[in-house]
Structure formats: C-alpha cells, structure tokens
Chain A
Amino acid sequence: MLWLLRSWKAPGSLAFVAVLFCCCSAKAAYAQDNYEIQVYGSDTVAPKTTMLELHSNFTAEGTKPLPGSPFAVDRMYPTNHAEHETVEITQGINDWAEVGFYIFTSARDGQGWQWVGDHIRPRVRVPDSWHWPIGVSLSTEIGYQRRDFATDTWTWEIRPIVDKTFGRWYFAVNPALERSFHGQTVNQGIGFSPSAKFSYDFNKYISGGLEYYADYGSLHGFDSLHNQQQQFFPAVDLNVSPNWEINFGVGVGPTASTDHLIIKGIVGRRFDWTHHRAGGSESIQ
C-alpha cells in the first residue's frame, strides 16, 4: 500500500470519548461503508488474470464512542481514527465476466485489528463486441459483516455501472441499490446508494477528478439530507503500468450522518497468468 498503508495509530486523546456524537446520525445505516471506496468502471478483469487490490481507508474524523461505552451509535464500533484494510481478489472469467471476493478488516485503538466480514461480487458487462457507445456493466454483491461493524449483517447490492471515455475525460456512474436480509433495516426495503466519478487525464500517467458517494436511504422515501450519507473525494489515479492500479483521495462528508474526513487509497496489482507482456507481440498466445 505504500503511501497509505499506515500503521494504526491511537487517537490523540481519550477526552474525545466524552464528546457526544450527534444523535441525529441514528439513521438507518447499513454499515460502516468505508471499506471499499471506489466508483466502478465497466471494464472487467481479463480471463486468465487475477487482480489483487488493497483498499486502505483511514477515517480522520468519524463516529466516536458514546460516553462509558466502547461503541458509538447503533452499537457499532466507532470509526473515528479507524484504519480499514480491505483485500479484494478478482478473477477474470472471460471477456465479459469476473468474480470478486472481499476480506474486510478494521483496526482501531482499543479494538485491535479485527475481521469485519466478507463479500462475494460476480460482475458481468456488455462485451465491447456489441459496439455500445458507452460501457455498461452489472455487479451484484452479497455478504456478511459482523454486527459490531454494521447494523445489517447480511446484505445484497446490485450495482449498474455506466461509463464513458472522451479524449482526456472519463465519466462513470454507479446507481447502486441495496437490500438487507438481516439486521436493523431489513424491513425498509431497497436503499439507493449512488456513486459517480469524473476525471481528466493530465498526462498518460496521472488523472485527477472528483468522486461522489451517497446513501439516500430507502427508495420508499429518502432520508432527509441531514440523515443522508454524502461524500466527495477529490482523487488521483496513477496509470504507471497496465499491471498496476493506484488511486488515492481525500473525502469530505458534509452531512451529519457521514464520516467527515477520510483518506483513502487503492493499490491493485494485475497478475497475468499467461506470463506475457501486456500488449506485447513476441509470444505465441
């Protein structure tokens, strides 16, 4: 993880514990969602290829413990100064399908390094051979997170993905829908959690832009803006090699229900099991 793989650090002062976290944040949160902060592109991992990614997210300003309790609201561990490390392993199936697997972990003073849960994420896309003018993909993700880290333990997400590259510009939107199978919001139906991104290629290796993540609440009736999750991440992508994916950003959450300041980073390494140089022509297959 290099620049963002920081060692976990204790909060500056336990005096923070005394600070009451805003009770207005008692909205129906599905989970601490800051494990994989990424707007998906439509492309899938190539067959005979494995993508290994490490998502490292440090919440510089998040939920804090309630007085006299190790937990924050909703009996979840606080996120303030928590380091979330998520390992994502994605295997390409063919030129239009992949399967991803997540291992979520969290480290924070007082709680140590803990396993949070796992998800599995099959994804398909419209093959390029269909000649669609935009990239389109559909991801579905199902999995478990421990109750200490999520109000809903078993959840399912379906995420349409649309993206497009124009010259130096890139746009992507992920209007995701979520559903709880076990937990606090199991009766609230489907939630709407869109995310979007635009970026500009400053040169071949550096692209910069803005990423947006939100959770509007149930489709039956959105939460008030105060209770919605809204995050904006100015972010940079480094395209140093076809085999590497590097992204980092700093996110600001302006609403009461959102962690207010998060530093995120993603480092991905592509393993091509055909052992051939990407784009190369010297080999037979």
Chain B
Amino acid sequence: MNIVVCVRQVPEVTDAELEINKEGTEILKEDLEMDINEWDNYAVEEAVRLKEAHGGKVTVVTLGDEDSEDVLRTSLAMGADEAILINEEGFELSDAAGIAKGIYRAIRDLSFDLLFTGVQCSDNGWAQVGLILAELLGLPYASLVVGIEINEGTMIVRRELESNTEEKLQITMPAVLTIQTGINSPRYVSIMGIQKVRKIEIRETDSEELGLSEEEIGVKGSHVASQKLSLPPVGEGAEILEGSLDEICEKAAQIVRDKGVI
C-alpha cells in the first residue's frame, strides 16, 4: 500500500493577535510559529497507520519555500518514508487550482494506491486542492473522511456530514481522500524523533523542472485578481465585563443568577 500525502506549513494563529502588512495583502508572519496544518497532521498519521497495517511506503509532498522542509521532517519523524519539496516561491499568490497543478506535476509519475490531503488548510481554508487533484489524476475521491477500512482493491470510507451524521461509501483504489480532524490521534513528534530523520534526503524540485511557466502559477495563473485583507471590526457583539478579576467574576455570576435557572 503506497500512500502519498500532501502537507503544508501554516502559521499557528490560535492564540496570536494577527496584524496585516501595509499593502493589505498578507498577515505579518515574522512572530508567528509555523507548524504542520492540523488536518494534514491527521492525514500523515492515517497514512502511517495504514502502512503499518498493510505494508508499503508513505511519501509526503509539500509546496512552499525552503523553510517548508520542517513540515516534511515532522512527517518523516511520524513514519513517512520519502519526502518531496516543491521549492518555489512563485506559488505565493496562486489560487487552489494553481497549487493543485504544481502538486499534480510533482506526483503524477509516482505509483500509489491512495493520495491524502487534509480537508482544508487553516490559513486560506479553500478546501479545494485534494479534489482538484482527483480530477487531474482521473481518480475517484471522497472528502471529509473520518474512517477508512481497506479491502481487496476497494475500501469502505466514512464521510462526515452535518448533525452527527456520517455517510458510508465504497470506493475503488487508487483514490484520493481528504482527511478530517479526529479520524485518529496523531502521534507526538519529539525533537529526538526529528533528529533521527535528519539524514533522509529530501527530493527538491521547482516550477521550471515541473514544466510550469510563470503564466500558469502565482497571481497570473490565478482566478483571483486581488485580495484585500482586513481585521474584522471589534466592539460588535459582546459587552465586555470590566473591573478587577473578582468584580468581573461577580458580574458574570450575577448574570447567571438573574436567569433564574439554577
């Protein structure tokens, strides 16, 4: 069972106060920690577990700058066997279709049974790349996958729908699946673990080697003409409770008591 997993490095923004550059085109990333996209972490874990159960190898691929090597090393430490880095800053302003095109060129000659991506990336949240890849590769696919059971040449897949409901499907292999969070419990990667895989060679490529022209990637190849970022207005919505910590808690307690349901 050979599995290719697309991963991506994203800024960790959960606890961060974000700022936008003065052109309004990007957030300032200098002070943000970079990490593997949460969905991709589950996808790598799922691939490694399937490999452990059925044999074969796991290849991880990412598209970004040279710092993206970190996300490949993390994946290798989790148990992936090979890694490909599409080291190309020209994809900076690509839309999902442009990114998918780049990954497609890098993996189309690989022999694999399954291709995984995360459902979406935590930065742009397009939720598109995996499914565009399926179309480019001419493969069947399923998105929002929360369960995989492999049989001979086929598999039973569970997709997450709304309202505590799932959908059960049968899909032939090879296939493309986009992996939802919660499908497994990703293993913890230690610094020691990353040290151990530091000698594994990462295959590097770029748009020139992949035969992609400037017209096909970046802003020229994108369907988006421009993107203007802004911070959502604050002050709408909640009345923020003020005072000392004790005063705040007393106000909150009073609001709860006033509802008369205790």
Partners in one complex: no
